[in-house]
């Protein structure tokens, strides 16, 4: 029992540490966003673009009427306090010729004309933005979340809470020789499962995943390649019930996924995994995965809430290639005033073999509600 409470306290402590390390945007960010919106509307007659600012990083999702030219980049980067301008998944920090320095914009003086010069770009290490967007409906995408599930098909288990703590952490980003940008980094995640129908919320299982990744993006096409390790452990309380046996499952794997943004509101992806050195050795090492994501082009309540929906399907050789379907729909909260860069509040439905590795041979159906946090 002490071990169980220690684990639960550890999970809570980690959540508070993560929350404490994220800070809301400063007043300077509010100023930058307001100034940028006014500049685009007055100078470029554009009021359809979406702008957000976090710690001086200005992110713009261009409207249909705006052509993102060198002049637009120059004017946005000239606003006082702007560290970097990000456009449609591409991040660039503008370095200007010392002979023709740009006219900066101050709060007192108002907009000033930028000097016309050839801008060159370089990509910073430890850039916080990611070239490959998270898979919104994938139950095992590394990120931080708190999920409540109501099991429909499981006789022994009814209601569970399934927390995860993790992130995809970019470490370096640069320009690829064959076009576009590349990024390398690491990812890690803990996935837990607690039985809410027991007095002490018995720990049922825990999965751990960590690895390295390489991603690439050019325009609307992005790819993700990863080498990772996964290991699974059954909860002590579940073993004490005597109704389940521990499944010794762990493996190293390589995964590859490719994603295409067909429209601003439509994303399609596909890929697969190959397991090497699996335990047990006789499991089929192949996974296949594909999905579709929808994101509204219109946000509501002062651009605070944006409707989203996604479907993810996985076929695993170890499950005779039966499809596991994950459906999620809800809203995205993406605003400089939020604690995290993006927050998803999603209703969920799942039907297929369990994503929890200890129960990978168990057919599972559930509905639920989750809060997902992306950095």
d(CA 96, CA 86): 17
**Phi and psi based region of residue 93 (left: phi greater than 0; alpha: psi -120 to 50; beta: remaining):** beta
pLDDT surpassing 50 at residue 24: no
3-class secondary structure, 354: coil
- Kindly list the structural domains of the chain, giving each domain's residue range(s) and its CATH number in brackets, ordered by start: 27-122 (no CATH), 127-374 (2.40.230.10)
Q: Do the beta carbons of residue 88 and residue 62 sit within 8 Å?
A: yes
Q: What is the mean pLDDT of residues 234-245?
A: 63
51 confidence band (pLDDT: 50, 70, 90): confident
Q: What is the pTM of this model?
A: 0.67
- pLDDT of residue 113 exceeding 50: no
> For residue 194, what pLDDT band results from cuts at 50, 70 and 90?
very high
On the question of pLDDT at 104 being above 80, the answer is no
- Supply 50's token pair: 């979406």
Question: Residue 161's pLDDT is what?
Answer: 95
Question: Under 8 Å CB-to-CB from 191, ≥6 apart: which residues?
Answer: 140, 162, 163, 164, 206, 207, 208, 209, 356
pLDDT at 130: 86
With a cut of 70, say whether residue 265 has pLDDT above it. Answer: yes
pLDDT digits (tens, 9 = 90+) for 143-167: 999 999 999 977 678 899 999 999 9
Mean pLDDT value of segment 60-89: 71
Round the CA-based radius of gyration of the chain to a whole number and report it: 23
Residue 96 has pLDDT above 50, yes or no: no
Report which of residues 334 and 127 the model is more confident about: 334
DSSP result, 179-212: SSEEEEEEEEEEEEEEETTSTT-EEEEEEEEEEE
Helices (H), 205-266: 236-241
To the nearest whole percent, how much of the chain has pLDDT over 90?
Answer: 43
Q: Which residue has the tokens 């169980």?
A: 4
Residue 246, pLDDT score: 64
Mean pLDDT for the chain overall: 79
Residue 242 has pLDDT above 60, yes or no: no
pLDDT tens, position by position, 350-366: 999 999 888 888 899 99
**Most confident segment among 79-93, 114-128, 217-231:** 217-231
Alpha helices by DSSP H, the chain: 2-21, 27-44, 70-77, 236-241
Distance CA 345, CA 348 (A): 10
pLDDT at 163: 96
Assess contact for 201 and 194: CB atoms under 8 A. Answer: yes
What is the reported pLDDT for 115?
Answer: 35
Check whether 3 has a pLDDT greater than 80: no
pLDDT of residue 284: 92
């Amino acid at each position: 029992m002490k071990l169980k409470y220690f684990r639960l306290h550890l999970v809570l402590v980690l959540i508070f540490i993560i929350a404490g390390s994220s800070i809301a945007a400063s007043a300077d960010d509010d100023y930058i966003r307001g100034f940028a919106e006014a500049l685009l509307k007055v100078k470029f007659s554009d009021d359809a673009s979406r702008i957000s600012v976090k710690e001086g990083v200005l992110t713009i999702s261009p409207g249909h009427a705006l052509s993102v030219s060198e002049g637009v980049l120059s004017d946005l980067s000239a606003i006082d306090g702007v560290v970097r301008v990000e456009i449609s998944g591409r991040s660039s920090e503008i370095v200007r010729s010392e002979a023709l320095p740009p006219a900066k914009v101050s709060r007192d003086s108002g907009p000033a004309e930028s000097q016309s010069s050839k801008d060159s770009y370089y990509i910073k290490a430890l850039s916080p933005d990611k070239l490959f967007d998270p898979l919104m409906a994938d139950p095992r995408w590394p990120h931080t979340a708190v999920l409540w599930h109501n099991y429909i098909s499981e006789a022994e288990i009814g209601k569970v809470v399934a927390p995860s703590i993790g992130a995809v952490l970019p470490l370096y980003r640069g320009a690829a020789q064959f076009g576009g940008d590349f990024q390398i980094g690491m990812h890690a995640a803990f996935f837990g499962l607690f039985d809410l129908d027991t007095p002490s919320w018995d720990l049922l299982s825990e999965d751990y995943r960590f690895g390295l990744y390489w991603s690439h993006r050019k325009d609307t096409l992005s790819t993700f390649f990863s080498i990772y390790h996964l290991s699974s452990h059954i909860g002590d309380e579940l073993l004490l019930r005597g109704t389940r046996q521990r499944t010794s499952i762990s493996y190293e794997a390589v995964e590859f996924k490719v994603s295409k943004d067909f429209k601003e509101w439509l994303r399609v992806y596909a890929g697969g995994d190959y397991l090497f050195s699996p335990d047990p050795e006789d499991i089929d090492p192949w996974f296949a995965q594909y999905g579709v994501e929808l994101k509204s082009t219109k946000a509501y309540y002062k651009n605070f809430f944006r409707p989203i929906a996604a479907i993810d399907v996985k076929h695993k050789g170890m499950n005779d290639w039966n499809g596991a379907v994950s459906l999620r729909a809800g809203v995205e909260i993406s605003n400089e005033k939020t604690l995290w860069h993006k927050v998803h509040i999603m209703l969920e439905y799942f039907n297929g073999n369990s994503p929890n590795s200890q129960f990978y041979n168990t057919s599972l159906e559930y509905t639920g509600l989750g809060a997902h946090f992306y950095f």
